Amino acid sequence: MNNETASIIKQNIGFLQEITAPYAAGAEHVQGGGGNTSVKDDSGNMLIKASGYLFSNISNENQGVVLVETKGVIEGIHNKISGVTDYETIVPMKGAFPDNGHSKPSMEYEFHALLGKYVLHTHSVYANVINCCSDADAMYQKALSGLNYLIIPYVTPGFPIAAHLVNYLKKNRKIPEIILLKNHGVIVHGATAAGVNSTYEDVQNRLQSTYAMEKLNELKAQECPEGFELPASSLYGTFDINTAQKELEGDVLFPDQTIFFKGKISQNKEDNTPLYLNIPEQKIEINGSRKFAEACVEMIQAVRYVNEQQKRLGLHPVWLSNNDVDILHGLSAEKHRIAILNK
């Protein structure tokens, strides 16, 4: 990475922090490495959160960011749509922090290029209570009346969201500043960081107050000799460890849930899965690094929150289909391509 690129990143990282840091703590807005933010400069660059990094990493100096060329990303989207290039295209990367040759932009980088100067994308639990139920459209109409928003049906995260937006722009002049993604999350974009933050917070507040959704408080895993553990009683709402396997692994509300939990949970200790549901002792044992354990706790809390709130509100959950889950796990590149073509 040359000095000029490094200095562009340094000039913009503070702007990125403005729309990232406020949403870094707990599981309310993002869980594990989920969600992403970006900022564009006037010279055609876009600084975006790096894949695998946390919102809290962006709060530190020079961490977890990638600089890409906005125009190149948009050209890539159009080439993929027209079939000129394959699904896996080369990212027009200019540089990254850390500059170790391994950094990649968030896998959702493409839709960022089509939106305003500042883009904030989260997996807000408040939005996902609604995004993952059959009544979402009517519920948003009630909570967000007077606001300009767009609801996108579930599509695989990444390029398909960008493709959906390109399609939308064929019939509409511009993309509303609030985008709600079914079974996924929310995007807010705009010309200033303060504007994006205030619109985002307005949406969260309206959803919480219209449907009396309480705040999801932060929960930490406890260190134990085997790694980390979570007493069943510490989890959000009324958690039943006997049905946890189905709740966490079987009924998939949003993509990160299955990416995280599929094949990783067992009620038998001998299976040596990263998560062990210790039913006799009523606790979940987590085997892995602190970062992994924290991400697990956030993901479990998010799933619990959505399920509890949906139950309280009498909503009908909508889960991802087996086919959507297979696509997420990359079982077939062909299925992936077909799914994109069909949406």
Contact residues for Zn ion, defined by CB under 5 A: 185
Instruction: Tell me how far, at minimum, the Cβ of 122 lies from Zn ion, in Å.
Output: 8
Amino acid at the residue 99: D
The residue with its CB nearest to Zn ion is 185
Strand intervals (E) in 246-318: 265-266, 275-278, 283-286
Whole-angstrom distance, CA of residue 23 vs CA of residue 30: 7
Instruction: Tell me how far, at minimum, the Cβ of 108 lies from Zn ion, in Å.
Output: 5
Instruction: Tell me how far, at minimum, the Cβ of 241 lies from Zn ion, in Å.
Output: 28
Nearest to 91 by CA among 78, 109, 116: 109
Residue number with CB closer to Zn ion (116 or 185): 185
Residue number with CB closer to Zn ion (37 or 197): 37
Residue number with CB closer to Zn ion (160 or 185): 185
Residue number with CB closer to Zn ion (95 or 185): 185
Nearest to 26 by CA among 3, 62, 56: 56
- Cα dihedral across residues 23, 130, 318, 331: positive or negative: negative
Whole-angstrom distance, CA of residue 331 vs CA of residue 314: 35
The CA radius of gyration of the chain, in Å to the nearest whole number, is: 20
Residue number with CB closer to Zn ion (111 or 276): 111
Whole-angstrom distance, CA of residue 190 vs CA of residue 197: 9
Instruction: Tell me how far, at minimum, the Cβ of 12 lies from Zn ion, in Å.
Output: 22
Residue number with CB closer to Zn ion (37 or 45): 37
Whole-angstrom distance, CA of residue 25 vs CA of residue 269: 31
Instruction: Tell me how far, at minimum, the Cβ of 314 lies from Zn ion, in Å.
Output: 27
Residue number with CB closer to Zn ion (114 or 244): 114
The DSSP H or E segment spanning 82 is none
Residue 328 φ then ψ, to 5°: -60, -35
Instruction: Tell me how far, at minimum, the Cβ of 123 lies from Zn ion, in Å.
Output: 6
Instruction: Tell me how far, at minimum, the Cβ of 242 lies from Zn ion, in Å.
Output: 31
* Residue 170 burial (C-beta neighbours within 10 Å; 0-12, 13-18, 19+): exposed
